Amino acid sequence: MIEVKEDWCKGCNICIDRCPVDALEESDKLNRRGIRPPRLKKENDCNYCRLCELLCPDLAVTVIPDKEDDKKPMKKTLLTPVGGKIK
C-alpha cells in the first residue's frame, strides 16, 4: 500500500515518472493546492521498492508493505548481485 499525504504534494510527478513498474498515476481529485497527487493504478503493480518514497522532495509518499504480500512470491528485482544470480 502507498499512503500519500495529499495536501503535502506539490505535483512534481517525480514519483510517477521514476516508478520502475509504472504503478502510479495522477489522482482524479485535487488537493488544497489545486494539484492532482499520485495514486496507485493497481495495488498489485507495486513491488515496494520505496523509490517513490525516497525521491519525494515533500515527504508526501509512504510505502507500507501489506501483511498478505509476505506470502506472495517476490517480483523480479531490477538489480542482480555481483558474481551471481538471485536464487
What b-and-e string marks burial along 22-36, b requiring 16 or more CB atoms within 10 Å of the CB? ebbeebeeebeeebb
| Residue 58 counted as domain residue | yes
| Residue 16 counted as domain residue | yes
Strand partners, 55: none
Number of domains the chain is built from = 1
Read off the CATH number of the domain in which 11 is found.
3.30.70.20
Q: Are 18 and 52 in contact (CB under 8 A)?
A: yes
More confident position, 6 or 72: 6
| Residue 80 counted as domain residue | no
State which residues form the domain around 42.
2-70
Report if pTM > 0.95.
Answer: no
Q: What is the pLDDT of residue 46?
A: 86
* DSSP codes, 63-79: E---GGGGSSPPPPPS-
- Residue 81: band (very low, low, confident or very high) from pLDDT cuts 50, 70, 90: low
Interval 28-77: pLDDT, tens: 999 999 999 999 987 667 888 999 999 999 999 999 887 765 555 555 66
| Residue 81 counted as domain residue | no
